[in-house]
């Protein structure tokens, strides 16, 4: 039961981050940054499906990596600038992005170490 709840939470966080990046892409991010925002949206969707469909540690690791890389890129953009962007952490998409990416990291790590009880029963 705990495993499924964690899977749903991680998938929802991945979809939330994907939605934020898709929204920002539609708001006019262009060039290489816009391409990366669109790829982030697609990757979040694919990982969310994988987390729900495949009971393995790899999708959970993918969620952790997705959250860490995306959050790391945002922290760079909010502090020193990243690929021509300099954000200021003052908008709803930025707040939701940070929250969902942190949940991807924490939830993905937890999911990697939770045992599936249905496999343990003999």
Tens-digit pLDDT profile for residues 77-118: 888 766 666 667 677 888 888 899 999 999 999 998 887 655
Rounded-to-integer distance, Cα 82 and Cα 87, Å: 9
pLDDT for residue 32 is more than 80: no
Global pTM reads 0.84
Q: What is the pLDDT of residue 3?
A: 83
Tokens, residue 79: 């502090």
Length of the chain: 122
pLDDT for residue 119 is more than 60: no
Q: How confident is the model at residue 122 (pLDDT cuts 50, 70, 90)?
A: very low
């Amino acid at each position: 039961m705990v495993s499924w709840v964690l899977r749903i939470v991680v998938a929802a966080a991945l979809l939330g981050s994907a939605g934020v990046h898709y929204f920002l892409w539609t708001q006019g991010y262009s060039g290489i940054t816009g391409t990366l925002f669109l790829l982030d949206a697609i990757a979040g969707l694919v990982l969310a499906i994988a987390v729900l469909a495949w009971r393995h540690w790899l999708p959970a690791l993918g969620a952790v990596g997705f959250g860490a890389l995306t959050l790391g890129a945002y922290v760079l953009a909010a502090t020193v600038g990243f690929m021509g962007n300099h954000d200021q952490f003052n908008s709803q998409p930025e707040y939701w992005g940070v929250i969902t990416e942190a949940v991807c990291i924490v939830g993905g790590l937890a999911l990697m170490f939770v045992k599936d009880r249905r496999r343990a029963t003999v």
